[in-house]
Amino acid sequence: MSEELDISVVMTTHNRCSLLPEALESLLAQEADGLRYEVIIVDNNSTDETRQIIESFIQRGQSNLRYVFEPRQGISYGRNAGIANARAPIIAFTDDDVRVTPNWLDNIKRTFDEHAEVDFVGGKILPQWPHEPPSWLTRDHWWPLALLDSGDDAFYVNAANPMVLPTANASFRRDVFSRVGLFSPEFSGREDHELILRLWRAGRRGLYQPAIVVTADVQPARMTKSYHHRWNYKTGRFNSMMRLNEIMGPDGHLMEKQTNAPTIFGVPTYIYRQLMSEGLYWCKTLSQESKRLQHENRIWYLIGYITKRFEQGTESQYQ
């Protein structure tokens, strides 16, 4: 690892070359006097002009920009390739549809310097809407859009306060990956949640720092109810694989041991009760579109959680 660098920025991209120039411009135009950083763009097996665009920036004299090709499809593979090539003690992650603010890296470095007790930091991910969002798309529905605004006060994130800091705007001390492992390809798509769950369980601590700000382009396709239904269903399946509902206490805190609740077909009975409760709440909020969608999405989440557990149970019978 080079002692000459302060931060390695890792961005993974796949067939989104139209987004890259603006994303790269924001990363390479940081107001960070004296801060030494590199930008690693991991081409995750793109078939468009991704490589040519990155190389055009390098040819323009951007010596701190590096191109890495990762043929294995999946964002976890891409991020792990970035980690393997990073040379700095801090690794900052962002995405190709994200624009970082001019003081982004400076605020990341300052936060780590002032908080030696934390292993990872994250901040605000604010929306750049393509058009006026529908009335139901309130902040209660930001999570499927990978948006985050938890206020203007910094706070710790750990097992006692388990909030996920999405990797569209999250940075880690490099040594945490040797302690808890890399991003899991099995959870590509929810790899940040699974990694941070491991960090919580290992007793590691993060920090939400509102001064670390990025903006994210919200794709029109994600501003539909059907997208939110699919996202919650898929999240339920991933969380079922992690047994997340069984290791989270009723107060929302991470428990030291998994619960041993009664099960039906491998699914804790309280999951079925939650599903029925959400159905009742949905009936009571028929005239409140945003609230109704919250319950709809929770129902899709629980269906995903249950069906994945059914599948795992069936698979185990034939092993």
Cα–chain center distance at 71: 22
**The predicted structure's pLDDT at residue 37:** 96
Q: Tell whether 181 and 233 lie within a shared domain.
A: no
Nearest CA among 81, 115, 57 for reference residue 8: 81
The pTM (predicted TM-score) of the whole model is 0.90
Per the structure, the count of domains in the chain is: 2
Question: Which residues of the chain have a pLDDT value below 70?
Answer: 1-3, 248-260, 313-319
Q: Is residue 1 part of a domain?
A: no
Residues 121 and 89 in one domain: yes
Is residue 140 assigned to a domain?
yes
Q: Are residues 195 and 229 in the same domain?
A: no
- Residues 249, 284 share a domain: yes
Does 197 share its domain with 313?
A: no
Last-in-domain residue among 174, 197, 219: 219
Per the structure, the complete domain to which residue 124 belongs is given by: 7-219
User: Is the same domain home to 205 and 242?
Assistant: no
Q: Would you say residue 38 lies in a domain?
A: yes
Bridge partners for 244 per DSSP: none
Domain boundary among 199, 219, 239: 219
- Beta strands of the chain (E only): which ranges? 7-13, 37-43, 65-69, 90-95, 98-100, 120-128, 155-157, 170-173, 206-217, 263-264, 267-268
- Give the model's pLDDT for residue 29: 93
Domain identity same for 111 and 250: no
Domain match, 181 and 284 both: no
pLDDT recorded at residue 267: 82
In a domain? residue 308: yes
Q: Is residue 2 part of a domain?
A: no
- Of the residues 163, 185, 219, the one at which a domain ends: 219
Residues 163 and 234 in one domain: no
Q: How far apart are CA 263 and CA 101, in angstroms?
A: 48
Helices (H) and strands (E) in the chain, counts: 10, 11
Q: Assess if residue 12 is contained within a domain.
A: yes
- Residue at 197 is within a domain: yes
CATH number (domain holding residue 166): 3.90.550.10
- The answer on 242 and 208 residing in a single domain is no
Same domain, 191 and 52: yes
Q: Comparing C-alpha atoms, which of 52, 158, 41, 45 is closest to residue 94?
A: 41
Same domain, 124 and 269: no
Task: Write down how long the chain is.
Answer: 319
Report CA-CA distances (Å) from 52 to 79, 148, 239: 20, 32, 38
